[in-house]
């Protein structure tokens, strides 16, 4: 499975991220200087009363504006301004306080509102330019001088105004048209040469829509120009409003052609208004997707799509991702939509779009309050979303700081060629940062559950919520709580953990107990609400849990806790992991003779023939669709080699989240297969003579100074790490090949990872397959392993190797290890075989002091006792067919 690119990641629970690290992210966001890449001039004091202050949180106008007082955006704006102004939390109190600040010292109030802005790129092409300050006047409130964004339609409109006023009946409109184009071209070239101009702006969205053709229609533009000047009656602003089919498209194309002729590094971007705007816009023509043909026509022209393209944010992210010359601005939604909407928009843009392509702007205009609200809100939303991502293991805390700085400063600095120095904003920083630590409270279970309920309810709450775990023998178990009971407990601050006998972590699948395990005392099972998913069956939600002692302390015997410890150890050394599982499973039919293989209908590896069976095709599609509804996005599906055998490839995640996702997915597969009349099994060798069933894991390493996508993790990191895994591989097998039937699958020449301790680049007969730099595949793992313990042992072994600077003495094995000669083995250091039985693997574990030191003696002793008792029980069942049938019913 190709491990997808991703950011470094560590969840708060599972990767060692601390409150101080989260507070450092918040401080960095609050102190990051802002390059406001799109805004408009402020009104002169004597003009303020001409425009309604209500417009600071809405694009609505006229009578529609007065309903804004009941909008979430307005209510939030009142609270934030009231806090800044130290006044009552009503609109009337805020208006009175603002008017007083205008009287006392308007420029001081402006300075406070623009605090934190490095520079503003001012679009000064709005109407009524005599009512506003010049763009360079604003520089008295910013750290560095402000620059201009030239509005293309305003340039063209001034020229058209002159020609329209001078037009007389009988004039040659074709000649006027050519003169108009020549003057327009000169104006664009003058702006291109002007160092004060750093970009251009088009409002074609407001005029004829964003469906600009890839090639302009010259004849239509000529006819539209003729209509414009021949019927022109003038405009008070001195700017003709060009809103004519073909003509608007032509001036945008002319500007793009001229700017594209600039030398590569000095090309000045064109901004396009997209999405959110006033009622002049035709909404259906405001999606940036209409610009795709235009974008393709000018591949070297930097294009900035403004305003988050709301409500077409995903389209914006798609275009910025797929075209190297397109950038996504996520301004104006601050402060015009609710906080929840802003957070969703930020998540949507980050679903696909690299953060090196994202910019931010206030779209401040007329009133300084539009600036301060936008600044407060973007910092607040960045804090909320990025800290959530860090807690979930989606991004490393240092990468989150990089993301915020790139969005707020670095990307605009680069795209507009500003050459500004990044210096953190320390003005008023004490007030901004004195409560940074306090603002990082851990998200409560009620917070998570309520948000999940909001996102997933769809008009219906679940009946039951599963609290699940897997025990030492990898048996999935669950307790269920009625939804109303759980939500009531959360709302009342009552406990949601469950008492379970301590014997739970010492029992077999048939409830027999391992030696030394008795009925006395209990653990508490703490659900991890961050693992909550809707499913696996209608009416159920489910999440995974950790075992704790009565005082809330961690339990060394808890498999999930062990993996959390391993993840934390990596984070403490600046390492972060992504794990992606391949789920192989077999569908069986039930007959009078028991569970049998599906009828052979040409089933083979990756064959399309099996999907001619409509029932099978629908079942697999239902699996993918159901998982997608749970935010588990399958990367690939294909048929495997054995009858009824299939594989689903899961996305890479931080280790604990990856195993949680693996278990959620298996529950969905089992439920849907049963509903369709099949039986699902993970048995490693369900049928002799057919391919075995594995659970290969892909592992990728990143350091705090790199990313998974960059592939620049040093060999000094990943080679000792994987050397540690190889050194301890025989002991690791006790966790990864954990059942006697596991060894029925371990054969030479069967593409099952082989039987030798070695590695090889793209070698599927080696237990460790190197794919690319730090991305390796661990192949000696099957579905009967406790995946938490298996991955914990792998990560701990790797970290042991890194800490000990273990040399990678094994050579890169380029053939099936079973075919090596004795001399070849010595040369490649292929000297050990994997264990041939559970007993041999457990013995290797008991003798591996290094791995025991990492896992802890208590865990290893209990695990060995349980597995030895399980082997005794399985041997008592009789022949291999009886054991196979017994296991397939349970796995």
CATH number assigned to the domain comprising residue 103 = 3.20.20.140
Answer yes or no: do 132 and 74 share one domain: yes
Question: Is 0.75 topped by the overall pTM?
Answer: no
Structure tokens at 776: 């390796």
Number of domains in the chain: 3
Answer yes or no: do 485 and 538 share one domain: yes
Per-residue pLDDT, 425: 78
Q: How, if at all, do strands 636-639 and 645-649 pair?
A: antiparallel
Answer yes or no: do 252 and 350 share one domain: yes
Per-residue pLDDT, 289: 96
Q: What is the mean pLDDT of the chain?
A: 87
- Residues with Cβ < 8 Å from 179, sequence gap 6 or more? 163
**Cα four-point dihedral sign 837, 840, 844, 846:** positive
Residue 19 falls inside a structural domain = no
Residue 438 falls inside a structural domain = no
CATH at residue 831: 3.30.590.10
pLDDT higher than threshold 60 for residue 768: yes
Answer yes or no: do 378 and 488 share one domain: no
* CB atoms near residue 369 (< 10 Å): 25
Domain boundary pick from 355, 386, 420:
420
Per-residue pLDDT, 249: 95
Answer yes or no: do 352 and 492 share one domain: no
Please compute the mean of the pLDDT values over residues 226-249 and round it to a whole number. 88
Domain boundary pick from 502, 531, 555:
555
Identify the DSSP state of 57: G
Per-residue pLDDT, 265: 67
- Residues with Cβ < 8 Å from 675, sequence gap 6 or more? none
Which domain, by its residues, includes 610? Answer: 563-890
pLDDT tens-digit series, residues 8-30 = 223 333 344 566 678 888 989 99
Per-residue pLDDT, 19: 66
pLDDT tens-digit series, residues 276-314 = 888 888 999 999 999 999 999 999 999 999 999 999 999
Q: How, if at all, do strands 303-305 and 326-329 pair?
A: parallel
Distances (CA, A) of 737 to 741, 753, 755, 832, 852: 9, 12, 12, 16, 17
Domain boundary pick from 420, 455, 484:
420
- Residues with Cβ < 8 Å from 668, sequence gap 6 or more? 535, 536, 623, 626, 627, 630
Residue of higher predicted confidence among 746 and 50: 50
Residue 665 falls inside a structural domain = yes
pLDDT higher than threshold 90 for residue 35: yes
Beta bridge partners of 197: 148
Percentage with pLDDT > 70 across the chain: 93
pLDDT tens-digit series, residues 106-134 = 999 999 999 999 999 999 887 677 888 89
Answer yes or no: do 584 and 526 share one domain: no
Judged by DSSP in three states, 782 sits in coil
Answer yes or no: do 403 and 542 share one domain: no
Q: Kindly report the CA angle at 598 between 596 and 601, in degrees rounded to 5? A: 150
Per-residue pLDDT, 778: 92
Judged by DSSP in three states, 17 sits in coil
Answer yes or no: do 461 and 330 share one domain: no
Please compute the mean of the pLDDT values over residues 655-673 and round it to a whole number. 94
Helix ranges, 457-601 (H):
483-491, 559-572
Answer yes or no: do 580 and 547 share one domain: no
Confirm if 547 and 557 have CB atoms less than 8 A apart: yes
Judged by DSSP in three states, 383 sits in helix
Per-residue pLDDT, 689: 74
Confirm if 386 and 400 have CB atoms less than 8 A apart: yes
Please compute the mean of the pLDDT values over residues 453-469 and round it to a whole number. 80
CATH at residue 516: 3.10.20.70
Residue 695 and residue 192: Cα distance in Å, rounded? 59
Residue 1 falls inside a structural domain = no
Answer yes or no: do 165 and 260 share one domain: yes
Residue 437 falls inside a structural domain = no
- Residues with Cβ < 8 Å from 575, sequence gap 6 or more? 701, 702, 703, 704, 717, 721, 799, 802
Helices and strands, counts by H and E, the chain: 31, 23
Per-residue pLDDT, 594: 75
Residue whose tokens read 């109030």 = 109
pLDDT higher than threshold 60 for residue 220: yes
Residue 375 and residue 862: Cα distance in Å, rounded? 55
pLDDT higher than threshold 70 for residue 855: yes
Q: Number of C-alpha atoms within 13 angstroms, CB side, residue 849?
A: 0
pLDDT higher than threshold 80 for residue 434: no
Answer yes or no: do 509 and 544 share one domain: yes
pLDDT tens-digit series, residues 78-94 = 999 999 999 998 999 99
Per-residue pLDDT, 511: 82
Residue 171 and residue 186: Cα distance in Å, rounded? 23
pLDDT tens-digit series, residues 616-635 = 889 999 999 999 989 899 99
Confirm if 199 and 303 have CB atoms less than 8 A apart: no
Answer yes or no: do 245 and 154 share one domain: yes
Residue 426 falls inside a structural domain = no
Residue 6 falls inside a structural domain = no
Residue 736 and residue 739: Cα distance in Å, rounded? 9
Residue 24 falls inside a structural domain = no
């Amino acid at each position: 499975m190709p491990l997808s690119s991703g950011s470094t990641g560590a969840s708060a629970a599972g990767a060692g991220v601390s409150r101080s690290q989260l507070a450092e992210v918040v401080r960095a966001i609050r102190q990051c200087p802002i390059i406001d890449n799109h805004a408009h001039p402020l009104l002169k004091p004597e003009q303020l009363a001409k425009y309604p202050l209500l417009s600071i949180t809405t694009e609505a106008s006229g009578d529609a504006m007065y309903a804004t007082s009941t909008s979430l955006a307005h209510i939030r704006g009142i609270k934030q301004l009231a806090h800044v102004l130290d006044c009552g939390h009503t609109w009337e109190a805020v208006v009175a306080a603002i008017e007083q600040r205008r009287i006392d010292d308007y420029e001081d109030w402006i300075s406070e509102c623009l605090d934190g802005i490095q520079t503003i790129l001012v679009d000064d092409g709005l109407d009524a330019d005599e009512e506003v300050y010049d763009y360079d006047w604003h520089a008295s409130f910013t750290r560095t001088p402000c620059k201009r964004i030239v509005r293309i339609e305003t340039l063209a409109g001034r020229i058209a105004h002159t020609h329209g006023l001078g037009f007389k009946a009988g004039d040659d409109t074709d000649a006027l048209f050519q003169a108009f184009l020549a003057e327009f071209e000169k104006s664009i070239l003058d702006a291109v040469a002007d160092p004060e101009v750093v970009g251009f702006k088009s409002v074609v969205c407001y005029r004829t829509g964003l469906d600009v053709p890839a090639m302009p229609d010259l004849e239509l533009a000529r006819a539209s120009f003729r209509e414009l000047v021949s019927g022109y009656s003038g405009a008070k602003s001195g700017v003709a409003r060009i809103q004519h089919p073909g003509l608007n498209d032509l001036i945008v194309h002319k500007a793009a052609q001229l700017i594209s002729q600039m030398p590569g590094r000095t090309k000045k971007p064109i901004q396009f208004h997209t999405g959110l705007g006033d009622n002049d816009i035709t909404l259906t023509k405001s999606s940036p997707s209409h610009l795709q043909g235009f974008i393709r026509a000018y591949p070297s022209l930097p294009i900035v799509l403004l305003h988050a393209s709301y409500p077409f944010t995903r389209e914006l992210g798609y275009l910025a991702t797929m075209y190297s010359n397109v950038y996504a601005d996520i301004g104006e939604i601050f402060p015009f939509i609710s906080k929840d909407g802003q957070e969703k928009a930020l998540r949507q843009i980050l679903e696909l779009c690299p953060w090196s392509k994202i910019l931010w702007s206030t779209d401040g205009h007329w009133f300084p309050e539009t600036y301060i609200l936008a600044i407060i809100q973007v910092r607040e939303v960045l804090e909320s979303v990025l800290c959530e991502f860090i807690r979930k293991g989606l991004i490393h805390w240092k990468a989150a700081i990089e993301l915020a700085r790139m969005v707020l400063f670095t990307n605009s600095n680069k795209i507009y060629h500003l050459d500004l120095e990044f210096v953190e904003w320390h003005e008023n920083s004490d007030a901004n940062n004195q409560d940074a630590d306090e603002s990082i409270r851990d998200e409560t279970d009620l917070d998570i559950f309520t948000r999940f309920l909001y996102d997933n309810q769809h008009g219906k709450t679940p009946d039951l919520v599963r609290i699940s775990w897997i025990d030492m023998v990898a048996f999935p178990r669950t307790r269920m709580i009625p939804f109303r009971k759980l939500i009531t407990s959360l709302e009342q601050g009552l406990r949601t953990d469950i008492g379970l006998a301590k014997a739970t972590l010492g029992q077999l699948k048939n409830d027999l107990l391992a030696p030394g395990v008795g009925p006395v005392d209990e653990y508490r099972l703490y659900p991890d609400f961050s693992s909550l998913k809707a499913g696996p069956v209608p009416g159920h939600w489910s999440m995974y849990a950790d075992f704790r002692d009565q005082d809330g302390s961690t339990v060394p015997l808890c498999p999930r806790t062990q993996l959390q410890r391993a993840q934390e150890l990596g984070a403490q050394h600046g390492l972060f992991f992504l794990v992606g599982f391949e789920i192989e499973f077999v569908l069986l039919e039930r007959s009078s003779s028991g569970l049998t293989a599906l009828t052979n209908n040409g089933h083979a590896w990756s064959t399309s023939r099996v999907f001619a069976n409509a029932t099978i095709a629908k079942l697999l599609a239902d699996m993918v669709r159901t998982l997608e509804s749970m935010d588990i996005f399958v990367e690939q599906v294909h048929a495997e080699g054995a009858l009824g055998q299939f594989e689903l490839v899961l996305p890479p995640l931080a280790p604990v989240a990856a195993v949680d996702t693996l278990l959620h997915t298996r529950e969905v597969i089992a439920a849907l297969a049963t509903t369709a009349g099949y039986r699902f099994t993970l048995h490693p060798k369900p049928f002799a003579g057919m391919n075995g069933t594995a659970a290969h894991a892909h592992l990728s390493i990143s350091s705090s100074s790199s990313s998974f996508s960059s592939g620049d993790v040093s060999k000094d990191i990943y080679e000792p790490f994987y050397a540690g895994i190889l050194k301890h591989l025989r002991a690791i097998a006790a966790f990864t090949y954990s059942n006697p039937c596991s060894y029925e699958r371990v054969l030479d020449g069967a593409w099952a990872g082989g039987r030798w301790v070695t590695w090889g680049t793209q070698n599927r007969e080696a237990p460790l397959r190197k794919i690319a730099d730090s991305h390796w595949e661990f192949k000696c793992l099957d579905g009967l392993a406790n995946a938490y313990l298996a991955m914990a042992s792998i990560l701990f072994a790797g970290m042991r190797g890194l800490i000990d600077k273990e040399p990678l003495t094994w050579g890169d094995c380029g053939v099936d290890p079973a075919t090596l000669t004795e001399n070849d083995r010595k040369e490649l250091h292929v000297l050990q075989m994997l264990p041939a039985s559970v007993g041999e693997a457990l013995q290797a574990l008991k003798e591996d002091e290094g791995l025991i030191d990492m896992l802890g003696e208590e865990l290893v002793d209990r695990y060995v006792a349980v597995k030895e008792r399980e082997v005794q029980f399985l041997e008592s069942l009789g022949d291999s067919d009886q054991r196979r049938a017994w296991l397939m019913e349970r796995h």
